[in-house]
Amino acid sequence: MIVGIDLGTTNSLIAVWQDGVARLIPNMLGEFLTPSCVSLDEDGSILVGRAARERLQTHPERTAAVFKRHMGSDKVVHLGKRAFRAEELSALVLKALKADAEAYLGAPVTEAVITVPAYFSDAQRKATRAAGQLAGLKVDRLLNEPTAAALAYGMHQQGNESRFLVFDLGGGTFDVSILELFEGVMEVRASAGDNYLGGEDFVLTMMELFFERTGLPAKLKNDPHFMQRLTAQAESAKRVLSAAPTATMRMRHDDKDHLLEIDEELLEKVCAHLLKRLRDPVERALRDANLRSSELDSIVLAGGATRMPVVKRLVTRMFGRFPASDINPDEVVALGAAVQAGLKMKDAALKEVVMTDVSPYSLGIEISMPSE
């Protein structure tokens, strides 16, 4: 059985191509989103998912999150007395997803299509493959996240000729891809991105604002328990602002409550530097594809961070139209990975679909002159 996996910075999902459609697979809690968190319990056992995320505030020294950003690097994360590389932590998440899929499908899962940011380097892609192998999965194919989103979206647009841009802002990475769909062929025209820009950066900016506005001592930034509680407050406020005009961050220190009320206008102001960084890859992708924004038929959102109103407003202003919201942005990449898994299995329902991708990086030629 081949599955599709969205190995995300904040959350991960697993899906399968079954009975002619892509289906998400719930975890043992009945949820599609599995937090990309790993924790080492006091007895030495490993916790993954929501159970690990809940320990971020109580046991920050034994819990890891956002490790996708360190894929392909030499960074080591210490959980208690044990040390893990990012690919080892990712393998534990993949192993949990694999177990959930096998319990749900009632069959062994041996192979996977895993999605990666389009702008992942070769070292980061090799680390992702290594994580899959450590989890007991054969990983023949890594699929770029915006391309996966386009595959999921394209299945709803079969028979139509269209050009569309995928704006994929996840927890830790940002990707843009421009695609063209014609006669069952999906061609990626251009890709651009930023591997260190995502929803987590908006959370960090809100945390910095909290320190600035409340006057809390900077030494608290070295207190992992305090910082994890503040992270949870900032994350909660970010989610509240997706549905309400204001949100309040509240922390208690030295028997005193410290409050910060944030509205959309303030958030947009303090995150202006992040919003500018979102513009640059979009403009670069349009230049590479030799297209004007007016020539695009639609804009597709992917990644949970695109739920933020400040991001949606930015996209609307940039393109002069509202983005498409046909598919849940949290789920669209995993669904696209399942479509690719179906293509690998040569499912009859997908025999008309052909996909081509591009290298996100420029290619050059190195010339070496022999010494005389």
Catalytic residues: 6, 68, 145, 168
β-strands 37-40, 111-116 pairing: unpaired
- The total of other beta-carbon atoms located within 10 Å of residue 136's CB is 15
Give the residue carrying structure tokens 């192979």.
111
Three-state secondary structure call for residue 311? helix
Burial 54-79 (b: 16+ CB within 10 A, else e): bbbbebbebbbbbbbbbbbeeeebeb
Rounded Cα distance, 315 and 241, in Å: 17
Q: What is the DSSP letter of 134?
A: H
Alpha-carbon gap, residue 162 to 153, rounded angstroms:
11
Residue the block writes with tokens 């924004």 = 293
Q: What angle do CA 21, 22, 28 make, to 5 degrees?
A: 130
Task: Tell me the residue length of the chain.
Answer: 372
Question: In degrees, to the nearest 5, what angle opens at C-alpha 268 toward C-alphas 265 and 273?
Answer: 155
Which residue has 């690990």 as its token pair? 52
CA dihedral 48, 104, 304, 347 (to 10 degrees): 130
Taken in order 75, 69, 127, 286, the sign of the CA dihedral is: negative
